[in-house]
């Protein structure tokens, strides 16, 4: 795995038709500066709008991965991204003359060959990796999908499929080393589908550029050649088609005995690129497809963002996620109205856990109440609201320049008094966030007992 970021030496192009749109198109790979990432540029549209290859811009995963940002929409990007990821490139501008890359032969090999022809060069900037340091799991029991990510010094994939079809059966594959295996052992693996899917896909307006020249079609009917001919006529397919002896239409030879599962691993490599940073970890996947891949990427991306936030705001070698110095960089509050001491955990735009240590020296105990000190309920809610302000950290850009105004409180309940010596733990979940307003639900605990709860509406404004 490389220490330096990488791009290509010179621009290079490839022409063809899109798999699903059938549009004639041209893709051009161009060098890009360090730390700029990978973006698709719609050169055919006014203003040349672009979309970054990032999970935040995924808008459809029905039969591939589609990215969009305003007018810049690009279908079926996974094979292009697999080529870029497999060759361990970091920065590219990818110009398209239409809304989908050319499908080529249904694999990532045409892109790999063009990129290698253009040449690869190192850049001055260091390459950042996300090191998986704890096991992550994504499971969809109703679809039989399981993905486990475990710590590893390098990037590895183990993939298994088990279709109930004689031409496929159970297959597995393992990628151990991108440098030595990707270009020759995985990039050439072509996309595949079942004969029964072809008619459905056509009716959905897909695979307009599909054919036996860019996909392996597997027979899965009990009607014999009659069914093959019926589908050919119904779809006005130009290709001759027969069942064959291997269970693959026209007996098209496989490039590898387990080519279908290798292609599934190829798709996974492409989808993982959407994290925005290469990972060091071992992905073990069973029966996964684009939908599950994207859900996994979202989880890993959230994990990455959490690490980045900790790196930015957390003081070194401290246990809490944010200490008081980190909190003060974000929040405008100061003594005696800063009521959060540390943040234990933060999932950006989702959840926060924060702590307030209630001591006898709190200024409000002087008058509330003499001889019977109790923390005012309004200040418990204020402390909860400050924890909510931390939760908004990743929901807006440049949080240090913003303030959080609370607009309403609903369903406020106080369950028991809070006294000196108690440790308040606030747990808040973001229910909704739109533009500059959000809704949160929070609870305050002492030990495991709920002492207060509330629903809050807040608005983000400039300082």
Q: Select which of 75, 138, 368, 372 is catalytic.
A: 368
Closest CA to 51 of 84, 73, 27: 73
CA atoms within 13 A of residue 162's CA, in its CB half-sphere:
7
CB 374 within 8 A of CB 417: yes
Q: Given the DSSP bridges, would you call strands 402-414 and 437-446 parallel, antiparallel or unpaired?
A: unpaired
Known catalytic residue at 290: yes
Tokens 């003081």 — which residue?
315
Known catalytic residue at 282: no
Within a 10 A sphere around the Cβ of 176, how many other Cβ atoms?
13
> DSSP characters for 244-271?
-SSSBGGGPPPSSTTHHHHHHHHHHHHH
Sheet containing 24-31: give its strands across.
Answer: 12-17, 24-31, 92-96, 38-42, 50-52
Q: Select which of 75, 79, 138, 290 is catalytic.
A: 290
What is the CA angle 151-154-157, rounded to 5?
A: 80
Report CA dihedral (112, 46, 204, 61) to the nearest 10 degrees.
50
Can you tell me the distance from the alpha carbon of 229 to that of 106, in angstroms, rounded to the nearest whole number? 23
The residues carrying an active-site annotation are 290, 368
């Amino acid at each position: 795995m490389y220490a330096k970021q990488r791009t290509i030496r010179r621009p290079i192009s490839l022409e063809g038709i899109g798999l699903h749109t059938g549009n004639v198109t041209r893709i051009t790979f161009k060098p890009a500066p360090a730390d700029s990432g990978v973006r698709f540029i719609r050169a055919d549209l006014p203003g040349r709008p672009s979309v970054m290859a990032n999970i935040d811009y995924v808008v459809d995963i029905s039969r591939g991965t589609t990215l969009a940002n305003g007018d810049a929409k690009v279908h079926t990007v996974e094979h292009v991204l697999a080529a870029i990821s497999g060759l361990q490139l970091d920065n590219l501008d990818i110009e398209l003359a239409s809304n989908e890359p050319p499908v080529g032969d249904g694999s990532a090999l045409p892109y790999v060959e063009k990129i290698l022809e253009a040449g690869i060069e190192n850049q001055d900037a260091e390459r950042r990796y996300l090191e998986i340091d704890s096991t992550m799991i994504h499971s969809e029991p109703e679809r039989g999908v399981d993905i486990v990510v475990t710590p590893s010094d390098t990037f590895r994939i183990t993939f298994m499929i088990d279709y109930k079809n004689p031409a496929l059966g159970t297959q597995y594959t393992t990628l151990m080393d991108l440098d030595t295996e990707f270009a020759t052992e995985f990039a050439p693996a072509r996309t595949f589908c079942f004969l029964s899917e072809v008619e459905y896909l056509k009716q959905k307006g897909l695979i307009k550029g599909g054919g036996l020249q860019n996909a392996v079609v597997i027979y899965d009917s009990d009607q014999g050649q009659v069914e093959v001919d019926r589908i050919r006529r119904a779809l006005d397919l130009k290709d001759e088609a027969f069942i064959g002896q291997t269970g693959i239409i026209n007996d098209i030879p496989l490039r590898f005995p387990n080519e279908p599962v290798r292609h599934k691993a190829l798709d996974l490599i492409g989808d993982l690129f959407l994290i925005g940073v290469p990972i060091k970890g071992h992905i073990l996947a069973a029966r996964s497809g684009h939908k599950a891949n994207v859900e996994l990427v979202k989880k890993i991306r959230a994990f990455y963002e959490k690490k980045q936030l900790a790196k930015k705001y957390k003081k070194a070698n401290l246990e809490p996620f944010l200490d008081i110095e980190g909190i003060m960089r974000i929040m405008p509050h100061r003594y005696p109205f800063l009521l959060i001491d540390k943040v234990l955990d933060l999932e950006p735009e989702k959840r926060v856990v924060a702590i307030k240590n209630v001591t006898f020296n709190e200024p409000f105990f002087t008058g509330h109440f003499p001889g019977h000190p109790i923390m005012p309920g309004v200040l418990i809610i204020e402390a909860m609201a400050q924890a909510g302000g931390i939760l908004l950290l990743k929901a807006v850009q440049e949080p240090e320049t913003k303030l959080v105004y609370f607009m309403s409180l609903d369903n406020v309940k106080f369950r028991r008094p809070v006294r000196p010596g108690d440790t308040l733990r606030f747990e808040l979940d973001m229910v909704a966030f739109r533009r500059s307003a959000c809704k949160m639900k929070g609870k305050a605990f002492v030990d495991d007992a709920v002492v207060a709860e509330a629903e809050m509406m807040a608005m983000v404004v400039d300082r």
